[in-house]
Amino acid sequence: MRGFGGLSFSMWKLGNLEINGKTVLAPMAGYTSFAYREFFSEFGVNLTYTEMVSDMGLIYGNKETISYLPTKKETVPVGIQLFGSDPDNLKKATQIVMEKTSYFDFIDVNMGCPVPKVTKTGAGSALLKDPKKCGDIIRAIKSVYPGPVTAKIRLGWDDKSINYLEVIKELEEAGVAMIAIHARTKKDLYSGSPRYELIKNLRDKMNVPLLVSGNIYSLDDAINALEITKADAVMIARGGVGNPLVVHQINYYYENDERIEDASLEEQVDYCLRLAQYLIEEKGEEKAMLIYRSIAPKFFFNLPKVKTIKTRLANELRTYKDLENIIYEYLQELQK
Ligand SMILES: Cc1cc2nc3c(=O)[nH]c(=O)nc-3n(C[C@H](O)[C@H](O)[C@H](O)COP(=O)(O)O)c2cc1C
């Protein structure tokens, strides 16, 4: 238990990388681009992933697919998450990644995505139906890439086929370097409570670092998930959208045994504007602000008259000036 104090308590290793903390930014398609990863690095996140990258997209030289690959040194170690169903194609995709960039720290394989477009090709969570293939994929990638190869899985396909222990065994035998588990089945999609009790003490049964994912919205959610599972770190996914300070709150607690307060409205406004600036730099103002219609409203919660600002941000955002004006007018409204 606690009491070792300071960094040593939180330290764990991914390959040769020393990771000093408890928070990992979960891969999220449509979100975790370079801008989003760099923004979260300011809050002390310990590890990040790209959005999922299609093996076939890489093999066919699809420009958009290639644009997901990191192109410069990042503040925090980053993993490239690949998705695909065939070990040989994933191996080829890894070789392409290695030709195109050296700015990454590990390769991860998506074995959890529930989207039909992905599962009908046998990729994502469909792989869980074939644990041996999960192992073959890790072996194939490791045959060409010397760094850490990791996997992100779910509990199983549905309640009748909860087989994460079998999948983990195959992955470990194949030499996986870390496993992240989203504590839901494919059938659960993203709803309902994640089933942490089902994976109680899971880390004790494993030889490699474990990350847990599912409804980590607060420090208490993280404490609960880590205590039950004994995982090395939690993944921040939807809970970090509009509340990046949760990363710092978790790490600070595990380093100092103290809680820090939630962000003030002033701080939330600052975070909201800052992430917008990062996204604009990356994607240009028009595209960034369109994407921001679904992100900006999340920065405003537990506040009076909050519906007005949420609705306006979701519908009216076109420029950075709009963002500033809508926020400014809301702050004026609060003064009344
Ligand atoms: C919009 C969205 C996109 C996601 N994209 C990916 C992805 O590309 N790869 C992946 O492994 N998981 C992806 N996930 C799953 C998350 O990484 C995470 O495991 C899941 O959302 C559960 O955590 P939460 O309940 O805290 O959101 C995505 C989730 C969301 C909501």
pLDDT in tens, 55-114: 999 999 999 999 999 999 999 999 999 999 999 999 999 999 999 999 999 999 999 999
112 Cβ inside 6 Å of ligand 1 = yes
Amino acid 3: pLDDT: 38
What the block records as the tokens of 279 is: 């996204």
**C-alpha gyration radius of the chain:** 20
Q: Which of 113, 118, 210, 280 is catalytic?
A: 113
| Rounded average pLDDT over 237-249 | 98
Tell me, rounded to whole angstroms, the distance of Cα 288 from its chain centroid.
20
At 166-215, the pLDDT tens digits run 999 999 999 999 999 999 999 999 999 999 999 999 999 999 999 999 99
The sign of the torsion formed by the CA atoms of 251, 17, 50, 184 equals negative
What the block records as the tokens of 240 is: 């970090």
Local confidence band at 23 (pLDDT 50, 70, 90 cut-offs): very high
28 Cβ inside 6 Å of ligand 1 = yes
Backbone region of residue 21 per phi and psi (left: phi > 0; alpha: psi in -120 to 50; beta: other values): left
285-to-38, 291, 332 alpha-carbon distances in Å: 18, 10, 25
Local confidence band at 333 (pLDDT 50, 70, 90 cut-offs): very high
145-to-48, 150, 251 alpha-carbon distances in Å: 19, 12, 31
Nearest atom in ligand 1 to 108's CA: 11
Name the percent of the chain lying above pLDDT 70: 97
Residue 82 bridge partners (DSSP): 53, 109
Nearest atom in ligand 1 to 51's CA: 8
On the question of pLDDT at 6 being above 50, the answer is no
On the question of pLDDT at 9 being above 80, the answer is no
On the question of pLDDT at 227 being above 90, the answer is yes
Amino acid 2: pLDDT: 34
Q: How far is the CA of 164 from the centre of ligand 1 (A)?
A: 18
237 Cβ inside 6 Å of ligand 1 = yes
**C-alpha to C-alpha distance for 270 and 273, rounded to whole angstroms:** 5
Q: How far is the CA of 159 from the centre of ligand 1 (A)?
A: 20
Angle at 269 between CA 266 and CA 275, to 5 degrees: 140
What the block records as the tokens of 121 is: 């090709």
208 Cβ inside 6 Å of ligand 1 = no
272 is catalytic: no
Q: Where are the alpha helices (DSSP H) in the chain?
A: 6-10, 34-41, 55-59, 63-67, 87-100, 116-119, 131-142, 164-173, 219-229, 245-256, 265-283, 285-292, 306-316, 320-335
